[in-house]
Chain A
Amino acid sequence: ETGVTQSPTHLIKTRGQQVTLRCSSQSGHNTVSWYQQALGQGPQFIFQYYREEENGRGNFPPRFSGLQFPNYSSELNVNALELDDSALYLCASTPGGTGGLETQYFGPGTRLLVL
């Protein structure tokens, strides 16, 4: 059974650029959640996808968008990057559609640095 994987592991971008982060969910899981974790802070919920539809969103602007594919893998896109977007981006998968009610299985994260 393959765990949650994320790519790339590290990324450096400049302000104003766009970035796409990828996540493959654990086998058998149809729900993916994305989190942003700033240094020294706990993760903050960005949004969740269940069976290719967004079914929950945190307090993030529209330039944060996502996608889930038929195989339940997911992408996080961030447009017009700002310095404050520098963080560790985590995705987590669960087998059902109720996100926070289930045990979440996290990937290793993508470290994004915006210069």
Chain B
Amino acid sequence: KQEVTQIPAALSVPEGENLVLNCSFTDSAIYNLQWFRQDPGKGLTSLLLIQSSQREQTSGRLNASLDKSSGRSTLYIAASQPGDSATYLCAAPDSSYKLIFGSGTRLLVRP
């Protein structure tokens, strides 16, 4: 049974800092790993999807990595900005393709 965990639950950093968000999963037979952004009270926006055959994916200042053997994924945000403040969620599909989400990391980037 796939379980997804995100630590820490909240993070506060000054503007301009590079930061890493962590995501752990229990079933290494993973199809893919997806990262989403959620602004308060809003829906989710897909940021990156890493297939199981890939090690990383990049989009602008975002870079996501996947290490199946250790059951970990990281989302690296370069040169953080106040507009990056949001909750970041990771998710992986289970054996029946249902997406299993972590509880998210709430990021605050201080000006």
Contact = CB atoms under 8 A, between A and B. Distances in A.
Nearest to A47: B98
B99 A88 contact: no
A62 interface: no
Contacts of B92: 100
Contacts, number: 68
Contact of B44 (A41, A99, A106): A106
B63 to A, nearest CB: 17
A56 B104 contact: no
B97 A41 contact: no
Given A104-B34, A105-B46, A99 B103 contact: no
Interface residues of A, number: 27
A21 interface: no
Contacts of B34: 103-104
A36 to B, nearest CB: 11
Which of B4, B34, B92, B96 gathers most chain A CB within 10 Å?
B96
A44 B24 CA distance: 17
A90 B42 CA distance: 9
Contact of A41 (B32, B99, B103): B103
B102 interface: yes
B43 A99 contact: no
A106 B43 CA distance: 6
Which of B4, B93, B94, B98 gathers most chain A CB within 10 Å?
B98
Contact of A45 (B44, B46, B100): B100
Interface in A79-105: 88, 90, 92, 98-101, 103-105
B97 to A, nearest CB: 4
Given A42-B104, A103-B34, A104-B34, A109 B99 contact: no
B99 A45 contact: yes
A99 B99 contact: yes
B101 interface: yes
Interface of A: 4, 6, 33, 40-45, 48, 56, 58, 88, 90, 92, 98-101, 103-109, 111
7 contacts: A4-B43, A6-B43, A90-B43, A100-B93, A100-B97, A101-B32, A104-B46
